[in-house]
Amino acid sequence: MLRFYAMQSSGNCYKVRLLLARLGLPFELVDVDLLRGENRTPDFLMKNPEGRVPLLELPGGRYLPESNAILFYLAEGTSLLPEAPLERAEVLRWMFFEQHSHEPNIGAARFWLKLVRGGRELRTHDIDRWLEEGYAALGVMERHLARRRFFVDGGLTIADLALYAHTHVAQEGEFDLTGFPAVQAWLARVAAAPGHVDMGWRPEASSQLVNIA
């Protein structure tokens, strides 16, 4: 069975749970508490030298980190990852955008302003930049989605799941989506697709990292 190391409140981890649920793939969830440093133990660093979640353990013992690499691997052969080279490249285009322009601003603002106690004081000098660059990323999404139902023509793909994860909780990073009606309509379309689960969803099989030898 797949084993998935994650933190429940992380948008990067939610992307992967969302895909696993949507595909109906059974997996064991292992909670890693970043705030207690469980991702920096020698044992965890053996699994992922970056010391980060999400991390997927495959049957046979290989490990795959990086949320979008995990999405790309798991979605192969499904309608969520088109076969045509140009459409595959467009999926990657939006997943690179997500990692370069979107998550480092919208995800970071939510992490420090909502999830870390005292985070606002610790990162005072970053907040204006996160807001400016995060709103710029939302503007790119708004212009693209004004004429489309999903990021890549043809239907829902993993590019939508990657971008949905942090966008649907952007208000927790103090972003106001009122001026982005196409983004809001797209969020509703993604959430209405069959197999959608919310961020709180967990599989039946789950454990805490410290219980794993």
Ligand X SMILES: N[C@@H](CCC(=O)N[C@@H](CS)C(=O)NCC(=O)O)C(=O)O
The residues that touch ligand X, with contacts defined as CB under 6 A, are 10, 12, 34, 39, 51-54, 66-68, 99
* Nearest to ligand X of 53, 138 (CB atom): 53
Element (H, E) at 79: none
* Nearest to ligand X of 42, 85 (CB atom): 42
* Nearest to ligand X of 68, 167 (CB atom): 68
Q: How far is the CB of 148 from ligand X (least distance, A)?
A: 24
* Nearest to ligand X of 113, 182 (CB atom): 113
- Outline where DSSP puts E strands in the chain: 2-6, 27-31, 55-57, 63-65, 206-208
Q: How far is the CB of 206 from ligand X (least distance, A)?
A: 18
Residues 6+ apart with CB under 8 A from 87: 152, 153, 154, 157
Cα–Cα distance measured from residue 130 to residue 113, given in angstroms and rounded to the nearest whole number: 11
Cα–Cα distance measured from residue 123 to residue 75, given in angstroms and rounded to the nearest whole number: 36
Cα–Cα distance measured from residue 148 to residue 41, given in angstroms and rounded to the nearest whole number: 45
- 3-class DSSP state for residue 99? helix
* Nearest to ligand X of 104, 182 (CB atom): 104
What is the separation of C-alpha 213 from the centre of its chain, rounded to a whole number of angstroms?
27
Residue nearest to ligand X (CB): 52
Q: Which amino acid type is present at position 167?
A: T
